[in-house]
Amino acid sequence: MINLKIIFFILGVLILVLSISMTLPLILDYFLYNSLSVFFPSFLISTFIGLSLILAFRNNDRKISVNDTIIVTVLSLPVLCFFGSLPFFFDKNISMFSEAFFEATSGLTTTGASIYNNVEALSKGLLVWRSLLQWLGGIGIIIFAIAILPILNIGGMQLFTQDWKEKDSDLHHRSKELAKLVGGVYFLFTVIIFLILWILGMPFFEAFCHSLTTVATGGFSTNNNSIAHYNNTLIELTIVVGMIIASLPFTLYLSSLHKGLKAFKDSQVIIFLLLILLFTLALTLWNCFANNIAFFTSLRLALFNGVSVMTGTGYTTANFSSWGSFSTSLFLIMMLIGGCTGSTTGGIKIFRIQILFFIIMKELKKINSPRAIFSSNYKNQLINDDIINSVMIIIIFFLVGIFFISLIFFLHGYDFITSISAAITSISVVGPGLGNIIGPEENFGSLTSNLKATLSLAMIMGRLEFIAFFVLLLPSFWTQK
């Protein structure tokens, strides 16, 4: 049976946590501008509804089933996006709720796509709120990936339950304890990035905001020109390192406390780093020979923008959509692949690409030796049919989702690059698209309300791995005891 009480209770707690987070930008706007018009009503509405749900559905029985977990997972993100959008909706720079919802969804899903033409005109409170949404969304996604998806056996994530089996010498802890440990690492990285950016000359407020969005691989910036505003190589390198750190499995950082650097001898990590190296080199050489850009300048541009796209962060230092067809193709591939599982990145994820490769190699071997029996292992676990089916379903959902969203843009008269990049960047939660309409130097503000709503849904579904939504459509889900 579905336990509605625990579902609404948890939603109430999440809404209350979000409302409490509004106090920082509220206080900031009050002292800087003597204004409560944006955050005060948002805080009151969120707090009232959150507390009402908690008080109405509190229960001593806090047991939650797998079905309850799926429902909470599916409902929590759109509900939080709704309440997170209230400050944007009350802002004079936004006229329609679809725009406010798009901005909040982009924040909580750590996408980084924006509808604002001039973010530098926003109040300090709203700039902090955009960064906080991404920071909260980042830690939420990590917990979702390493504590919830394995329980639900979604998208092959059951392969990663071995990382926290209940052994004193191993990493595993109950979900609550695991969340505390991962949260501690996440907070520590945020502080370190902030201090380094501040020391390197970035203003205190901007260093604070960018530290939140870097560790979340979110990409919201306080400047219209993003990181290009600073034109500082050391700041760029710091952010590059921060994006890479946030793109690796956070469980490995906990495991490294016992195993040291050996914990990072993970095939997923190695392949991710090699792909970054390969893509950076390819983009560098392309810019050198095709665009006549000096080698070190080309390397600097390729490294920062390549890592930003691969990790789904979305910071920019150049209009990379104008580099040519070869680089555009590479960026689309990088958007789709994403980073490692258990990180704040989006995309299909490296480990699913690995599983797909294992499947292809297994089938090729079967063709050569039809009577032979082949098996593949990942992280010392057998890749069985359940895992293969789960991974393939997620990949198919990604590709089908990209096809339909691209088709919707085509029907609205947009060109191929704009359509396909809008689809990939939203489903893979990357941020900027490609082309002259939604490219690195543009925004999503010119899109119609219907398209903004479509991309908002795509960001939510892509971030929550699709399949949980479709499980709710099965009649057996609601009838089983």
The percentage of the chain sitting over the pLDDT mark of 90, rounded to a whole number, equals: 62
Which range (85-94, 123-132, 256-265) has the least confidence? 256-265
**Domain contains 417:** yes
**Domain contains 430:** yes
Q: At what angle do helices 350-368 and 267-290 cross, to 10 degrees?
A: 100
Task: Pick the more confident residue, 392 or 239.
Answer: 239
**Domain contains 422:** yes
What is the C-alpha radius of gyration for the chain, rounded to an integer number of angstroms? Answer: 22
Q: 């591939």: which residue's tokens? A: 333
377-378 vs 381-382, strand pairing mode: antiparallel
Using one digit for the tens of pLDDT, what is the confidence trace for 392-403?
888 999 999 999
Domains: count for the chain = 1
**Domain contains 150:** no
Question: What token pair was written down for 204?
Answer: 């205190």
- Please report, for residues 105, 134, 150, 254, the alpha-carbon distance to residue 99 in angstroms, rounded to integers and kept in the order given: 10, 17, 34, 39
Whole-angstrom distance, CA of residue 19 vs CA of residue 292 = 51
Of 156, 163, 168, the residue nearest 250 (C-alpha): 163
* Domain range enclosing 449: 379-479
Q: Confidence class of residue 6 from pLDDT cuts 50, 70 and 90?
A: confident
**pLDDT score, position 90:** 94
**Domain contains 385:** yes
Q: CA 204, 206, 211, 212: dihedral to nearest 10 degrees?
A: 120
Which range (56-65, 283-292, 322-331) has the least confidence? 56-65
Using one digit for the tens of pLDDT, what is the confidence trace for 256-309?
878 888 878 888 899 999 999 999 999 999 999 999 999 999 999 999 999 999
Q: Does pLDDT of 159 surpass 60?
A: no
Q: Does pLDDT of 381 surpass 90?
A: no
**Domain contains 118:** no
Using one digit for the tens of pLDDT, what is the confidence trace for 331-354?
999 999 999 988 889 899 998 898
Of 245, 248, 301, the residue nearest 271 (C-alpha): 248
Whole-angstrom distance, CA of residue 341 vs CA of residue 266 = 12
**Domain contains 457:** yes
> Among 93-107, 139-153, 367-381, which range has the highest average pLDDT?
93-107
115-141 average pLDDT score: 93
| Mean pLDDT for all residues in the chain | 88
**Domain contains 33:** no
Q: Confidence class of residue 387 from pLDDT cuts 50, 70 and 90?
A: confident
